[in-house]
Chains A and B, each alone.
Chain A
Amino acid sequence: MNGKQSKAIVKKNHPLLAHFKRFYWLYVFLIPGLLSIYLFKLSPMYGLQLAFKDFSLAKGVWGSEWVGLEHFRTLFKSVNFLRVLKNSIVTSVLRLLWAFPFPIILALLLNEMKNEKYKRTIQTIVYLPHFISWVIVITMVTALLSKSEGVINTLIVACGGEKIDFLTSTKWFRPVLIASSIWKEAGWGTVIYMAALAGVDVQLYEAAMIDGANRWQRLLHITVPCILGTVTIMLIMKMGDILNNGFEQIWLLQNAPNKEIAEVLETYSYQVGLREGRFSFATAIGFFQSLVGMVMVFLSNFLSKRMGGNGLW
């Protein structure tokens, strides 16, 4: 009672002042986060000007000369860049087609399991690969697929086939990449969908069962619509990654013979920027990547909402 009365009295003075007086702590809570965003997200932005400058170590970032869109022009004339750009897009589209649906299907199947104990055991196992680093996963992939000692090639030979050059051929690079992604992340990807599935109202299923709906109908008309929102949000976020394939996995799988196909924007800009010291050029690549990602997120969010679906915001 006391608190409410005092609130009413202060409110007469100035509503905004009263509000801050009462809730200032909530704004204080935001400070560390804002500071972190300022230091590591906003403050690096000054480096973006390098994309429009000719960076020289002696003159520094601010002192270097402006060259306008010169670097972007060189970028889109460079055969190498266009090849790497194509690789990035093809790889992430393949990932979207193969690796994105996998966790959803897995989660739906897990959800159909009625034996709780068995289900939990399976979950514990399929989550496990996520906790293994790329370095280790790629070591395992190399060991399994190697021509000399690999289990897979031993099996192929035993079945009368010929050894396949998985690791150093351009033909097999993408299948190996996608398969290792699925192995590592598919199980983990179910976590978010499982949480969404756990939130589905049980009464819906009960009502449907009384109405005589079978398993398939329940899945199609209750379960799927209920997790569609989560799927949309995940998809929108993935759209922003259309040019991003991550560095670690590809860097480890990449070698001289498969580089033609393997190289993506991340590994390319690392090579060009930090190894060869062409800072401006690499900054331009990164800037382009971020812009495309941003446009894709906004576009897919807009389209999703336009079609009556969920949006990220």
Chain B
Amino acid sequence: MVKTTIKKNTKIKESIPERIFAVCNYILLTLVAMAMLYPVLNIVAVSLSNYNEYLKAPWIILPRRFTTAAYELVFENAYFWRSYLNSIIVTVGHTTLSLMVTALFAWPLARKEVKGKSVLMAILIFTMVFNPGMIPNYLNIQKLGLLDTLWALIIPGTFSAFNCVIMMSFFRELPYELVEAAMVDGGSEPYIFTKLVLPLSKPVLASVTLFLAVGTWNSYFGAQIYISDRDLWPMALTLKEILMTASTQLLEAESDPMALSSAFTEVKTRTIQYASVVIATLPIMCVYPFLQKHFSKGVMVGSVKG
């Protein structure tokens, strides 16, 4: 569809102001993209550079006096790996669970046969606009016996109203004749949902998966409230400790002090911080390109009318 417009656009001659606009638009957007990319490149470059080079030129985007010393220090930190594992468990668990619960809820909402949709919509809107608050949530988690367990980060919030609206909007656009044909053929509802609807909904499923995974991977607030046991901390909270508070002390305590002091002349705080940042962001960056292409088709936000 898009391609045909391009062809037709080029056929019609553009006026000079329009051309000027087009050029300015390209320049402006390139600048915006550069502003977004620069800090990321800077972090990667610094993490691979010698600390003294960083002090001389903190703005580098290519490594200077290349060294992986900072990475080696982070790799030695058993504590870092522990929280890495916790984050993987929490992210996979929460994302899978939430995707299933939300998709199952969104499908009946998109079906015209279902009765009482106005009630369900009211519930949906209510969960969207009303949040009991930090303390009631905390007491609830405590009552359920989830405090200081990874479950406190996995099960709460498995139903997300916003994602549900996105999925519902997508499901509504699916060709309904296919569903009707399957029903006439005697296909059961679970069959229709898993074999017909879900395969057709890859764009929205990919988008929501990424929303969920990124949100879970990056968030530290839940862990800060619900989890005091350091062995159960997810990556985000450990990273916050490394970056914000006792950056070197933590590493010192966890890795061998002797090895640390000898390496200390080469590697300093900032490079260690940035190496941790790179390692912590790597999984997301690996998944991102594969799911990104679905965004434009997957994320429709429509009205939640019943």
- A residues near B (Cβ < 8 Å) are 2-4, 19, 23, 25-27, 29-30, 32-34, 36-37, 39-41, 43-48, 50, 61, 106, 109-110, 112-114, 116, 118, 121-122, 124-136, 138-140, 143-144, 149-151, 154, 183, 187, 191-192, 194-196, 198-199, 202, 205-206, 209, 214-215, 229-230, 233-234, 237, 240, 247-248, 252, 266, 269-270, 273-274, 279, 282-283, 285-287, 289-290, 293-294, 297-298, 310-313
Contact = CB atoms under 8 A, between A and B. Distances in A.
A305 B29 CA distance: 35
A135 B123 contact: no
A209 B8 contact: yes
A205 B5 contact: yes
20 contacts: A2-B186, A23-B113, A25-B189, A29-B104, A32-B105, A44-B140, A118-B26, A128-B40, A131-B214, A131-B218, A132-B40, A135-B239, A135-B240, A149-B270, A151-B58, A209-B9, A237-B128, A247-B221, A269-B134, A283-B135
Contacts of A47: 132-133, 135-137, 139-140
A44 B136 contact: yes
A125 B36 contact: yes
Contacts of A233: 301-303
B299 interface: yes
B292 interface: yes
Given A125-B33, A312-B304, A40 B156 contact: yes
B132 A274 contact: no
A252 B236 contact: no
Contact of A286 (B8, B33, B135, B285): B135
Interface of B: 1-6, 8-10, 12, 14-15, 18, 21-22, 25-26, 28-30, 32-33, 35-37, 39-40, 42-43, 55, 58-59, 100-102, 104-105, 107-108, 111, 113-115, 120-121, 123, 125-140, 144, 155-159, 164, 183-184, 186, 188-190, 193, 207, 214, 217-221, 225, 236, 239-240, 243-244, 270, 273, 277, 280-281, 284-285, 288-289, 292, 295-306
Given A112-B21, A215-B21, 11 more contacts: A3-B186, A25-B188, A50-B139, A114-B22, A122-B33, A124-B289, A133-B218, A133-B239, A135-B243, A285-B133, A297-B125
Given A37-B127, A45-B132, A230 B301 contact: yes
A126 B36 contact: yes
B26 A149 contact: no
A313 B134 contact: no
A112 B25 contact: yes
A33 B104 contact: yes
Contacts of B134: 266, 269-270, 273-274, 282, 286
A295 to B, nearest CB: 9
A29 B300 contact: no
Contacts, number: 298
Give the interface centre of A48, A195, A247, A293 by most chain B CB atoms within 10 Å. A195
Nearest to A45: B132
A279 B135 contact: yes
A128 B243 contact: no
Nearest to B159: A36
Nearest to A32: B101
B236 A202 contact: no
B108 A30 contact: yes
A14 to B, nearest CB: 14
A112 B24 CA distance: 11
Nearest to A246: B221
A130 B214 contact: yes
Contacts of B217: 133
Given A30-B120, A33-B101, A44 B304 contact: no
Given A4-B184, A25-B190, A116-B2, A126 B32 contact: yes
Question: Which one of A106, A128, A183, A293 has the greatest number of beta carbons of chain B within 10 Å?
Answer: A128
B25 A274 contact: no
Main secondary structure of the interface of B (DSSP, over half): helix
Contact of B129 (A130, A229, A297): A297
Given A113-B29, A215-B21, A139 B189 contact: no
B217 to A, nearest CB: 8
B133 A36 contact: no
Contacts of A196: 300-301
A57 B134 CA distance: 17
B159 A37 contact: yes
A293 B132 CA distance: 12
Contact of A191 (B32, B127, B299): B299
Contact of A109 (B1, B29, B236, B288): B29
Contacts of A150: 58
Nearest to B18: A215
A136 B281 contact: yes
Contact of A48 (B136, B288, B295): B136
B140 A43 contact: yes
A135 B108 contact: no
Contacts of A26: 107-108, 111, 113-114, 189
Contacts of A269: 133-135
A287 B135 CA distance: 10
A50 B188 CA distance: 47
A3 B181 CA distance: 11
Contact of B22 (A3, A112, A266): A112
Given A26-B113, A196-B300, A44 B132 contact: yes
Contacts of B306: 313
